[in-house]
Structure 1
């Protein structure tokens, strides 16, 4: 079994607490489902938010969906003028039998533009 890092991101429509929690929970669930993982497989999750998001910590969404024994940490992205606004990113560290090329990274909503090579967005 190997340790793998899985990336994901989602874009919010507005900086509102319930919206951030819903989009973050959707992202976490999508990454877990796409990679056939459950909480026992997780080592940790790092969340980042763009500087324009202040409504809530994304880790709260992880706790709300049951990741109570997984270390979660939130950080702020670098404030780059041309960066996509209102983005929550995450990096999941997990133990898995999947090879690196079989890991499924997940980019939802407008965040699909961040990695068109992985999402087919143009």
Structure 2
């Protein structure tokens, strides 16, 4: 079964290295808590909040060795109450986990987005 797995993190500034580091950290944590191998990933969609533009967060997948996972970057909607300096991820992966077993990962300031779905991995500042 292909499942959608959500994740998000925030950065302190619009800096390419920080965006790639935090996104890589998020991807690895999403894979770890859901016991996923890149070979079982169908695709990954990334969005950036409108205040981030220093780099493509999808590059983080390449940096951690996920060379063959299809990726795409998009812009998050610019709504007044939207989370600032946020990178969001929607990963599609083949997994035996049921929808209620999938662990969604929200790190740093992104823990406020879906506290009802986040994995019990702890907020990181």
**Aligned residue number for residue 118 of structure 1:** 117
RMSD: 1.3
**Aligned residue number for residue 28 of structure 1:** 27
Q: Aligned to 1:26, what secondary structure does the other structure show?
A: helix
Q: Aligned to 1:100, what secondary structure does the other structure show?
A: coil
**Aligned residue number for residue 103 of structure 2:** 104
- TM-score, normalized by length of structure 1? 0.95
Q: Write out aligned runs for 1:1-122 (5 A).
A: 2-119=1-118
Q: CA deviation at 1:66?
A: 0.7
Listed as ranges, the gaps of 5+ residues in structure 2 are none
Q: CA deviation at 1:117?
A: 1.4
C-alpha deviations, 1:59-97, integer Å up to 9, x for none? 111111011111000000110111110000000001111
Q: CA deviation at 1:118?
A: 2.5
Q: Aligned to 1:22, what secondary structure does the other structure show?
A: helix
Moved segments of 4+, more than 2 Å: 118-121
Counterpart CA distance in 1 for 2:44 and 2:117 is 20
- TM-score, normalized by length of structure 2? 0.93
Listed as ranges, the gaps of 5+ residues in structure 1 are none
